[in-house]
Structures are given as C-alpha cells and as structure tokens.
Amino acid sequence: MAGFDKVVSSYEEAMAGLTDNMTVIAGGFGLCGIPENLISEIKRKGTKGLTLVSNNCGVDDFGLGVLLSDRQIKKIVASYVGENAEFERQMMAGELEVELTPQGTLAEKMRAGGAGIPAFYTATGVGTPVAEGKDERTFNGRQYILEEAITGDFAIVKAWKADRYGNLVFRKTARNFNPMAATAGKITVVEVEEIVEVGELDPDQIHTPGIYVDRLIQGTFEKRIEQRTVRPSSAQGAK
Amino acid sequence: MALSREQIAQRVAQELKDGYYVNLGIGIPTLVANYVPQDIEVMLQSENGLLGMGQFPTEEEIDADLINAGKQTVTMATGASVFDSAESFAMIRGGHVDLTVLGAFEVDVNGNIASYMIPGKLIKGMGGAMDLVAGADNIIVTMTHASKHGVSKLLNNCSLPLTGKGCIKKVLTDLAFIEIKEGKFHLLERAPGVSVEEIIKLTEGELVVTGDIPEMNF
C-alpha cells in the first residue's frame, strides 16, 4: 500500500485481522446500501462471537442475516430487526443478545464515536425501556438521557464511488448509516461499485473524506430489493 | 360507521398546511400522502435519509438505492434532497419537522404512547419512532379505537412498554378525533354515524365531551 492509496486486491485482504469477539459496525438500512460482499467474506471466514452494530440485521438469506445461520453473531445493536425469522428464533431462545436502540440515537452513537465524543444527551427514549440504567439530566426544563458513543474494531461500509485515496460518494438513500459507520471503525473497510483515479471526484461533492477509510475494494452487487412497490406506467406525470 | 383506513388518512390530510415538512409512519400514515390537498405543497421526510419523497416508481424507474423508511421503492419529488441518517435525525430530533403521523398500539391520558413492542410476542424494535415522538411538537397518532374484541386502546395508563412519555396531543381513531390535555382525552370530532355514547363506551381513559360534537367532514 503506497501513500494514500487504500485499494486492496481481494476481499480476504479487505477483512484481514478480523478475529473472534470483535465489534463490527455496518452501514445500510434494510437491504439498501449494505456491504454485501464484506458480509459474505465474514461468513466465509467463519469469525464468531461478533458484536454487530447495524440498523437492521438483514433477512434470512441476505445481508447480515447470513451470519446468523452459523451463529457468528453474539450480540446485535440495532433499531429494527423484524424481517428475519431465524433472528427472532435465536433472540427468543436467548442465543442472541439484542440491544434495541432508537434509530436516531444509533446514528448519533456512531457519529459521536467517530468524532471523539464519548457520550451525549438526548430526549429520545426518556421514560421508556431505553432509559433504564442511564443517567438522566434536565436541561431547560426538559429531561434527557445520557447515551454513550459506539466505536468498532471494524467498520464495513458500502459507497457508490471512490477514488483510490478513499474519498467516498454515496448514492441516494443507500447513504443512510454508511458515512457514520465509516468514521467509527478502528479499521474502516469500504466496498464500492466504481473506483476512479485520484482527482476525478469533485472535492465539493465528496461525502466522506478518505481520512476515515483504511481499505477500499471494488465489488459487484446484487442490491436486493426488500419491498418492490410500483405504480402503473400509465399513472406517470404526477410529481 | 367506523372510518376505513383510507378515511383516517383523508382526515389526517386535512391537518396538512402549505409548506409543511411531514414524516409519515408505516401503515395508515403512509396513505396520507394520497390525500394531500391540491392547493398546497408539502414535503415528505423519510427517516432513512430522504426529504421530498415522491410516489412509487414505475417498473422502469425502480432503483434499489432509493427506498423509504418502510423499505419500499420510491421516487424523489422535484426539489428533493438525500442525506445520511445522523442528518435525518438531526431534522427530527431538532424539531424541524412540522408534522409527524404515526401508528400506535396504545395511548393514554397523559400523552404516553406504546407502539413498538408486545413483550413475548412482537419484538421488532422501535426504528425511528422514539426519536420521532421525542422530537416533534406536532404529532398525530392514527390507530383503531379498540381491539376487535372491544378492548379500548385509549387508556388510563399504557400497559405496553412506552415509545415516548407525555408527547402525544392528538389521536385520530376510526371512531373519533381526540385531543389529549391536562391528563384527559377531549372529544373533538366523531366519525360520521358514530354516537358519542359508542365512543365513550370504547374509551377507557376519562373522555371529556363538551357541547355538541361535530361529525368529521370529508
């Protein structure tokens, strides 16, 4: 690896150093913008006892859900996990530890983790099971709870385009948790649809600067759709 | 007659104002988008990172990178913007969204809401609902007034784990439009053909009825 060039040549190299019982932060919302091939590589490696931090846990045969069948996940921190039968089974059987975290709090925990802020106060979750065991404080007459930041041994991220320095551009709602995840990994691994030469991306259009990125690889993606909703072509024309 | 899902959405849509940024939850709230009055502009916020959600795509327009918070494929309206999840919840938590519409299992006279978990049965998670109810000042909860077995969902105290505490002021059920203040439900409107007595019977928490209660207009 020379200078700022972050490109690695294989998925094996991309996930090298991931070992049992590590914490992995993953970008993605539902199946949108997930690092499909990095997840597959974790499955192939068979790493166990992982703590995963991700908004969702995929579906049974795609996304992070594929790590459930071989019991690679010990604990998951997520906001919504309802789309996965095996997940539900493992959770109900007490085989899988689940820390349900409000979506905005989860995003902020990653953001804070990457930004060197150890904790923050939020009104989200006050008076609910989420507040249990957490410090509470009143500011301007309103109650808030203290939420701690999250960092990971690894962050796995999917972006649309990157240059070889790891400057990233995301596409539409596939951005979601990816930029925050990218900041919060000790080792941040990014897979993209296209790697371009340095200087080709407009600096004003870069969403995540390369400083956060350690390894970069170009992959091909299935991009599975969870809820295919369409309108008839004849209804076209409205905004 | 109790309101249909579409009628609930239609009545909520009457609360939309020109220039509103609106977050619509999954289920009935999503239908509100179909009834935005012609003479106003609203912009729909989807908490996965889209402001200016458009209608569903045609087969040709489908884009796996463009979904809403319900994971449905959508399009972007003219003037839309996309952003990351932290930014999205800055909008929500920071009180920048003008109206939030979401569903619930239960609400109570103190404005508490339970909408995300039925212990032992349904443990899917809160998604963005806790942030939404904590961040918005203007929230409308849509729900059925009672279960199929006639058990009220408008309670003295929520029995399920809370999504938010003391944050709900307006509830639109299939029977009634209700305001919550000073620890009581206040009946504002009733569904066409539904009597005040029927509503009282299916409301566990104290329901204040002042004067003649008008029927909803569609």
Q: Tell me which chain B residues have a C-beta less than 8 angstroms from the C-beta of A92.
A: 123
Mean pLDDT of A43-68: 96
A198 domain residue, yes or no: no
Q: Residue type at A227?
A: Q
Structural element, H or E, at residue A183:
helix A178-183
Q: How many domains does chain A have?
A: 1
Closest residue in B to A208 (Cα–Cα): B84
> Inter-chain contact A229–B72, Cβ cutoff 8 Å?
yes
Lowest mean pLDDT among A41-55, A83-97, B91-105: A83-97
Mean pLDDT, all residues of chain B: 96
Which residues are CB-contacts of B89 (< 8 A; sequence separation ≥ 6)?
A103, A104, A107, A108, B47, B128, B131, B135
Residue A85 is assigned to a structural domain of this protein: yes
Nearest to A226 among B47, B65, B71 (CB): B71
- Could you give the angle at the alpha carbon of B161 between the alpha carbons of B159 and B163, nearest 5°? 120
DSSP B72-90: BB--EEEEEEE--HHHHHH
How far off is chain A from B3, nearest CA to CA, in Å? Answer: 25
What are the Cα distances from residue A99, in Å, to A9, A53, A54? 35, 9, 11
- Taking the CA of residue B116 and the nearest CA in chain A, the distance in Å comes to 10
**Residue A14: helix, strand or coil by DSSP?**
helix
Does some domain include residue A224? no
Q: What single-letter amino acid sits at B83? A: F
What is the model's pLDDT at position B7? Answer: 97
Residue A1 binned pLDDT confidence (cut-offs 50, 70, 90): very low
Are A80 and B124 inside 8 Å of each other by CB? yes
Residue-level pLDDT at A157? 98
In a domain, residue A39? The reply is yes
Q: Phi and psi for A204 in degrees, rounded to 5? A: -70, -15
Tell me the fold of B5-208: Glutaconate Coenzyme A-transferase (3.40.1080)
| pLDDT level of residue B142 (50, 70, 90 thresholds) | very high
Question: Which residues of chain A does B134 touch, with a Cβ-Cβ cutoff of 8 Å?
Answer: 122-126
Do B179 and B170 meet the contact criterion of CB atoms below 8 Å apart?
yes
Best residue in B82, B84, B116 for a mutation probing chain A (most A CBs within 10 Å): B84
Report whether pLDDT(A238) > 70. Answer: no
What distance in Å separates the CA atoms of residue A97 and residue A188, rounded to the nearest whole number?
A: 24
Q: Please say if B47 is a catalytic residue.
A: yes
Inter-chain CB proximity B92 and A238 less than 8 Å: no
CA-based nearest residue in chain A for residue B113? A128
- For the entire predicted model, the pTM comes to 0.96
Catalytic residue among B6, B15, B41, B47: B47
Which chain B residue has the Cα nearest residue A144?
Answer: B134
Nearest in space to B143 (alpha carbons), one of B169, B172, B123: B172
pLDDT band at residue A234, thresholds of 50, 70 and 90?
A: low
pLDDT confidence of residue A237? 47
Q: Alpha-carbon distance A158 to A30, whole Å?
A: 13
How buried is A36 (Cβ within 10 angstroms: 0-12 exposed, 13-18 middle, 19+ buried)?
buried
CA-nearest residue of chain A to B92? A104
Domain extent, residue A152, equals: 11-123+144-158+175-190
Is the pLDDT reported for residue B125 higher than 50? yes
Q: Do B48 and A232 touch (CB under 8 A)?
A: no
> Which residues in chain B have their CB less than 8 angstroms from residue A228's CB?
62, 73
The answer to whether the CB atoms of A128 and B89 lie below 8 A apart is no
Flag if A223 and B64 touch (Cβ within 8 Å): yes
Question: What is the average pLDDT score of chain A?
Answer: 95
The helix/strand/coil state of B152 is: strand
CA distances from B64 to A14, A205, B153 (A): 25, 22, 37
List pLDDT tens digits, range B65-75.
999 999 999 99
Of all residues in chain A, the percent with pLDDT exceeding 90 is 90
Segments in chain B forming alpha helices (H): 5-13, 28-31, 85-93, 129-135, 196-201
Smallest CA–CA distance, residue B148 to chain A, in Å, is 24
A35-57: average pLDDT:
98
A119 within a domain of the structure (yes/no): yes
Q: Assess if residue A218 is contained within a domain.
A: no
pLDDT, tens only, A9-32? 999 999 999 999 999 999 999 999
pLDDT bucket at A85, cuts 50 / 70 / 90: confident
Contact residues on chain A for B46, CB-CB shorter than 8 A: 173
Task: Go through chain B and tell me how many residues it has.
Answer: 218
Instruction: Give the mean pLDDT of A108-137.
Output: 98
Q: β-strands B176-181, B154-155: how paired?
A: unpaired
Token pair of A47, please?
């790493």
* Exposure string for B55-80, b = 16+ CB within 10 A, e = fewer: bbbeeebbbbbbbbbbbbbbbbbeeb
SS3 content of chain A, % helix, strand, coil (to 5): 25, 30, 45
Report the C-alpha gap between A115 and A118 in whole angstroms: 9
d(CA A217, nearest CA chain B) in Å: 19
Q: For A80, which residue in chain B has the nearest alpha carbon? A: B125
Show the CA angle centred on residue B167, arms to residues B165 and B173, nearest 5°. 110
Give the mean model confidence (pLDDT) for residues A214-235: 92
A104:B82 CB<8 A: no
Q: What pLDDT, on a 0 to 100 scale, did the predictor assign at position A235? A: 52
In this prediction, residue B15 carries a pLDDT of 96
Set of chain B residues whose Cβ sits within 8 Å of the Cβ of A207: 84
- The ipTM assigned to this model is 0.96
- What is the distance in angstroms between the Cα of B175 and the nearest Cα belonging to chain A? 28
Chain B neighbors of A225, CB-CB under 8 A: 62, 64, 67, 73
Angle made by CA atoms B26, B30, B34, in degrees to the nearest 5: 170
Give the CATH number, domain containing residue A67: 3.40.1080.10
List chain B domain ranges: 5-208
At B105, the pLDDT band (50, 70, 90 cuts) reads: very high
Determine which of A57, A89, A101, A124 to mutate to test the interface with B (most B C-beta atoms within 10 Å). Answer: A124
pLDDT of A239 > 50? The answer is no
Q: Give the number of C-alpha atoms closer than 13 A to the C-alpha of residue B214, restricted to the C-beta side.
A: 4
Confidence of residue A113 (pLDDT cuts 50, 70, 90): very high
